[in-house]
Structure 1
Amino acid sequence: MTVQLHTLANGLRVVTEYMPSLQSAAIGIWVNAGGRHELPEQNGIAHFLEHMAFKGTKRRSALQIAEEIEDVGGYINAYTSREVTAYYARVLKDDVPLAMDLISDILLNPVFDPREIEVERGVILQEIGQALDTPDDIIFDWLQEVAYPEQPLGRTILGPVERVKAFDKPDLQRFVAEHYGPGQMILSAAGAVDHEEIVRLAEAAFGHLPAVKVSTALPGVFHGGERREVKQLEQAHFTLALEAPGYRSDDIYTAQIYATALGGGMSSRLFQEIREKRGLCYTIFSQVGAYDDTGLMTIYAGTGGEDLAALSDLTIEEVRRSVDGLTEAEIDRARAQMKAGMLMGLESPSARAERLARLVAIWDRVPPLQESIDRIDAVDRAAVRAHAASLVGSGRAAMALYGPVDRGPRVAELVERLAA
């Protein structure tokens, strides 16, 4: 497999990876413009813009976009995160030029028809309503909010209802003008692709774009706090977050290995102690989510309201015990899970294309896969235990509770127990 990277004169980066024996390809544009790049009055507009991508261009109607990609058996989609908005397609190798033409068309020539804006506004409001009705979904937005209060990184990606109701065509055009310059875009393709062809297509589609000033997102500063929403639900939903490194940090692999050992699978400490031995929950896990400059280690569990206190106490105890108690076997197992998950996840061209874009955005290069494996293998028991100790002694945590949680713990109590 061959990775190649080229930068156009206007700053747009093109990265490809040829995967022999494949008959299909994934191709897309990753724009470094997500939720954290919004002003307070723009909250939700990056996601709204993603929805509008497929609602018609100067050359194609919304139906024509759908028909052209599906006529060749492909698909096209998009997503918005807190740092990136991505537009991507999967097609057979002969249809890569069509996919590129579609993606460039929806990015460069949207019409933002006011009638379509109203239709999609209704769709997004329904999406917000669905999220509010999904406790184990909305609780993570609340956790993010209390972890990074009054900051772009703490705001919901979907945006508040009142903002979504107010966005109009000039708002969308303004956000595109400010954030969709070639220096903020990465064109990534993987599978049955030819690098030189992709570069030619990119030059033809995007080479004329003028460079624009690349905006810098405000830094994320972890504060912590709590949010508690009491509601009559079958389960009490519990989330706890401690600050973790950002993905540029040398410690990110240590943090991920620790979170995996703590609650990343059926053999993990949280799963074994709280679910298997005590039967206090059906779902419990821990994971690390990393951003450019900060991150969160998040623990989630759903339990009965009467068991919430016991579950939170045991969770804190397992975090405390991990400082001195993590064994070589547990760390070896976590390493193996990380490496297997990474390698298994790269068996599709879509996953490969996303990985390429992410790495170019972080490092402006694509480190060899072996480099990532070596960094995972280099994490030893002392580093993991030191990381656990830093979490226990941090003195800050974020917590969100939802459901029958009126008698649930206070975050200050949990922080105090962590440090005891």
Structure 2
Amino acid sequence: MLAFNGSKSLKRALALAISDTRTSISVLKNGLRIVTDSTPGHFSALGAYIDAGSRYEISATSGISHMLDRMAWKSTPTRSGQQMMEDLAKLGGNYMCGAQRELILYQSSVFNKDVEKMFACIAETVRAPQLTELEVLEAQQTTQYELEELEFKHDLFLPEILHSVAYGRDTLGMLLYGSAETVLGTTQAQVQNFHNKFYQPQNTVLAFVGVDHDVAVQMATKQLGDWTNNGEPAKIHKKPANYMGGELCLPYQEPRYSNLPKLVHMQMAFETGGLLSKDLYALATLQKLLGGGSSFSAGGPGKGMFSRLFRVLNQYPFVENCMSFNHAHLDSGLFGITISCYVDHAEYMAQIIAHELQKVMTVDVSKGGISKLEFKRAQNQLVASLLMNVESKLAALEDIGRQVQCQGKVTTVDEMVARIELLTIDDLRNVARKVFGGYGNGAQLAKPSVVIQGDRAAFGDVEYVVRYFGLGLYTSAMPDEPRDYSKKGLLRFF
């Protein structure tokens, strides 16, 4: 066994060289892309990644991507839905389908001996699903139930509404689940047309982990080498995301069960440059630094105790949970904080969020600026998260598949770690000033996007609070005092 005692840069270079030899990319004649990571093991992971999702939907058929997700692993020209289920059960692995804003994925992990059988199932359900009237009806019923449940899951529901506020009902603002009206009004023909338009070989990436590259190419050629674009245009037009920002208040939602606390919620976000932005690693580190958590942790005490937002829970007992988030998409993204608290403390929520964001923009550590200790802790936590994720073959699979889909190449984990280690406190402070100051994606005007759930008057003048702390960009002049409905919360909290 070799032992390297040289410099860190030499070790990193050697690690990069080893990683690069394991990842290969090929493109078939029909435009189908294949990426593999040949790291050996007792089982393999494989999947298909389609450049589709709610971003590409229209208002009349909003939710159709989610319906296709629910129609996966059904009937094909060579298997009935029942036969597909039986064949998958015999393989003994796990499989799933998921629809996102810019992606519909099909992936699985199985023992090495069953890779070819599993890939045949993936190829059939991606290329030629029957999409029968009965399957459409079942998907509609399932989605309708999920929509009813969604109202009680603010951690899933509010991000959907936040995207709608940020981008309008277009591109990234299209609701992933749609609405009851659009889902129930979607026809079998519309589902088929959407599938024909976006499920094309040049719009698809196949990814394999634990499979030799030549073997993967042979399987792909056998199953999908003759796949054509069904007469649809070879290149799909992608409308750029148009960030708008603004504020929306949702009615107060009573807890489903009487023993649960009565809470109000707020999410505040600012636009970022997205997945391909040079700020990606600085924002990811900043998110780790802000962190967050809940007043109840199923994993026991101690998780995230040293993050900025966990201190909010310790300092303010009326806060139920407070966490940072970073929704990164291809050409735009949303970075912000979500907070929930008891109903009689709603007036403080915007102040807590704005105060925490304002502090990371300052230089003086005594006034809340980023210290060397917490910066290094955030760096280490992000690196640890990356390294632990790649220990999962499914996580590694989605990583390489999504990277090829987005940028046409694979950035190795070693390269990511190297970029994180090059960051400085100034980088985090500068990206905080850029994003929270309203220039996160080079925009000339970028006010934050805010979603609140509860009695509107109880939250106070959110815009005034945001501007008081120097966040966002607005065209109008700063008012001298908050608007009338918010006078109960005049920034006395700090």
With the shorter chain as reference, the TM-score category is over 0.9
Q: TM-score, normalised by structure 2?
A: 0.81
Q: Secondary structure at the match of 2:458?
A: coil
Over the aligned positions, Cα root-mean-square deviation in angstroms equals 1.6
Q: Distance in 2 between matches of 1:402 and 1:321?
A: 26
Does residue 183 (structure 1) correspond to residue 202 (structure 2)? The answer is: yes
The one-letter code sitting in structure 2 at the alignment partner of 1:177 is N
C-alpha distance in structure 2 between counterparts of 1:283 and 1:79, whole Å: 27
What residue number does 1:56 align with?
A: 75
SS class of match (2:459): coil
Structure 2 CA distance for aligned equivalents of residues 378 and 368 of structure 1: 16
TM-score w.r.t. the length of structure 1 is 0.95
- The answer as to 2:426 corresponding to 1:382 is yes
Alpha carbons 1:242, 1:298 under 8 Å: kept: yes
Q: Is the 8 A contact 1:331 1:381 kept in 2?
A: yes
Q: Pick from 259, 269, 282: which aligns with 2:320?
A: 282
Shift of residue 360, structure 1, vs aligned partner: 0.7
8 Å contact kept, 1:232–1:404: no
**Post-superposition shift, 1:415?**
2.6
Question: How far 1:404 sits from its partner (Å)?
Answer: 4.7
What CA distance in whole angstroms lies between the structure 1 residues aligned with 2:412 and 2:73? 35
Paired residue secondary structure (1:100): helix
Asked whether 1:257 is paired with 2:257, we answer: no
Answer whether contact 1:261 1:330 (CA < 8 A) is retained. yes
- After TM superposition, what 4+ stretches of structure 1 lie above 6 angstroms from structure 2? none
How far residue 259 of structure 1 moved from its aligned partner, in angstroms, is 2.1
Report matched runs for 1:229-378 at 5 Å: 229-233=250-254, 234-264=262-292, 265-272=304-311, 274-324=312-362, 325-378=369-422
Answer yes or no: is the 8 Å Cα contact 2:160–2:175 preserved in 1: yes
1:228 lines up with 2:249 in the alignment: yes
Give the direction of change, closer, same or farther, for the CA distance of 1:98–1:232 in structure 2 (3 Å limit).
closer
Superposition deviation, residue 217 in structure 1: 2.1
- The reply on whether 1:155 has 2:155 as its aligned counterpart is no
Is contact 2:354–2:465 with CA below 8 Å preserved after alignment? yes
User: CA separation in 2, counterparts of 1:162 and 1:251?
Assistant: 39
Residue in 1 aligned with 2:37? 17
CA contact (8 A) 1:47 1:158 kept: yes
Q: Work out the CA distance in 1 between the residues paired with 2:287 and 2:135.
A: 43
Q: 1:277 to 1:5 in 2, by over 3 A?
A: same
Instruction: Give CA-to-partner distance per residue, 1:196-234, whole Å, 9 cap, x none.
Output: 111111011111122552213211122211111122531
Name the CA shift for 1:209/1:380 in 2 (closer, same or farther; >3 Å): same
Other structure's SS at 1:76 match: strand
Give the match's secondary structure for 1:220.
coil
Give the counterpart of 2:212 among 183, 194, 202. 194
SS in 2 for 1:165: helix
Letter in 1 for 2:466: V
Report what 2:190 is aligned to.
Answer: 171
State the distance in 1 between where 2:330 and 2:202 align: 17
CA distance in structure 2 between the aligned counterparts of 1:183 and 1:138, rounded to whole angstroms: 33
Hey, what's the Cα distance between the residues in 2 that align with 1:128 and 1:72?
A: 32
Q: 1:1-40 counterparts in 2 under 5 A?
A: 2-20=22-40, 22-40=41-59
Equivalent residues of 2:76, 2:129 under 8 A apart? yes
Residue 405 of structure 1 deviates from its aligned partner by 4.9
User: How far has the Cα of 1:417 moved from its partner?
Assistant: 2.0
Residue in 1 that maps onto 2:151: 132
Distance in 1 (CA, whole Å) between partners of 2:187 and 2:62 is 13
Question: Equivalent pairs: percent with the same residue?
Answer: 27
Among 208, 213, 223, the alignment partner of 2:226 is 208
Cα distance change, pair 142–409 in 1 and its aligned pair in 2 (3 A): farther
- Over residues 88-109 of structure 1, what are the superposed CA-to-partner deviations in whole Å (9 max), with x where a residue is unaligned? 1111100000111001111222
Which range moved further: 9-18 or 228-237?
228-237
- Cα drift, residue 393 of structure 1: 2.3
Which residue type is aligned with residue 67 of structure 1?
A: E
The match for 2:449 is: 398
CA contact (8 A) 2:101 2:176 kept: yes
Amino acid at match of 1:289: H
C-alpha deviation, 1:372, in angstroms = 0.8
Q: Select which of 451, 454, 460 maps to 1:409.
A: 460
Q: SS state of the match for residue 185, structure 2?
A: coil
Alpha-carbon distance in structure 1 between the residues aligned to 2:270 and 2:61: 28
Do the aligned residues in 2 keep the contact of 1:29 with 1:186 (CA within 8 Å)?
Answer: yes
Cα shift at 1:377: 1.3
Is 1:122 matched up with 2:166? no
User: In 2, Cα distance between the equivalents of 1:343 and 1:405?
Assistant: 43
**Aligned equivalent of 1:81:** 100
- 8 Å CA contact 1:398–1:411 kept in 2: the answer is no
CA displacement 1:380-408 (0-9 Å, x = unmatched): 11111111222342251111111355411
Give the counterpart letter for 2:382 in structure 1. M
5+ residue gaps, structure 1, are none
How many residue pairs get matched?
417
Q: Deviations over 1:45-90 (max 9, x none)?
A: 1111121122311222222212111112112210000000001111
- Equivalent-residue separation in structure 1 for 2:84 and 2:45 (angstroms): 17
The secondary structure found in structure 2 opposite 1:282 is strand
Closer, same or farther: CA 406–54 of 1 in aligned 2, 3 Å: farther
Query: Does the CA-based 8 Å contact 2:349-2:459 persist in structure 1?
Result: no
Q: Which secondary structure does the structure 1 equivalent of 2:45 belong to?
A: strand
Per-residue Cα deviation, 1:304-331 (whole angstroms, up to 9, x for no partner)? 1112222321221121111121112222
Code of the aligned partner of 2:129: P
Deviation of 1:116 (Å): 2.1
Closer, same or farther: CA 406–328 of 1 in aligned 2, 3 Å: same
Preserved CA contact (<8 Å) 1:186 1:361? yes
**1:327–1:216 distance in 2 versus 1, CA, 3 Å:** farther
Contact 1:188 1:353 in 2 (8 A): yes
